[in-house]
Amino acid sequence: MTVTVHDCKLIDLPKISTRKGAITPIYGGEHVPFEIKRAYYLYDVPGGASRGGHAHLHLQQLVVSVMGAFDVVVDDGHEKKRFHLDRAYYGLYIPIMIWRELENFSSGGICLVLASAPYDPDDYIRDYDVFLTARRSSK
Ligand code: TYD
């Protein structure tokens, strides 16, 4: 079955509140539907800047705004959907073969990404026309 933007879902994460602050633990296979093989974070992103602009052939991700806010626009080549992420206790699950743009970063924002595989430049589709062709040929 081909994935669509409707497979991109906001996932509620646990929030443990203590008198000294809050903690959010995340387990692969429990809170996210994949085994976590890599974590990375985007930071020092200038306010208002955009990131992303690609799709992945095999990679699944959970994107969390652990500080500040940004928007994620997901696109399956047919339909687009915008998510505003501004809390550390939920994240956006992005399956394979979804084009994504991260937009409107607040200054000082930090975006945590949990990923299902190690970094692999060959897993990226960075050309939107190539993405559309790949989507159409997978139908
Ligand atoms: P890239 O994925 O192109 O960033 P974005 O699409 O968000 O603008 O990555 C930017 C650079 O960082 C690129 O040179 C590859 C490198 N990189 C790694 O080495 N490991 C990683 O896990 C990631 C995500 C990027």
**139/98 Cα distance (integer angstroms):** 14
Which atom from ligand 1 is nearest to the alpha carbon of 119? 22
Which atom from ligand 1 is nearest to the alpha carbon of 102? 7
Residue type, position 108, single letter: G
Is the pLDDT at 1 greater than 80? The verdict is: no
Q: Quickly state the pLDDT bin for 138 (edges 50, 70, 90).
A: confident
CA of 120 to the centre of ligand 1 (A): 9
**Pocket lined around ligand 1, Cβ cut-off 6 Å:** 40, 51-52, 54, 119
Burial of 27 (0-12, 13-18, 19+ CB in 10 A): exposed
Q: What is the pLDDT of residues 110-135, one digit of tens each?
A: 999 999 999 999 999 999 999 999 99
Q: Is 56 a catalytic residue?
A: no
Q: Quickly state the pLDDT bin for 139 (edges 50, 70, 90).
A: low
**93/110 Cα distance (integer angstroms):** 17
What global pTM score does this model have?
0.95
User: Of 31, 54, 78, 84, which residue is the catalytic one?
Assistant: 54
Report the nearest-CA residue for atom 6 of ligand 1: 52
**53/37 Cα distance (integer angstroms):** 22
Report the nearest-CA residue for atom 1 of ligand 1: 52
pLDDT score recorded for residue 52: 87
**119/107 Cα distance (integer angstroms):** 26
Segments of the chain assigned E as strands: 9-12, 16-18, 21-23, 38-42, 51-56, 61-67, 70-75, 80-85, 90-94, 99-103, 110-115, 124-125
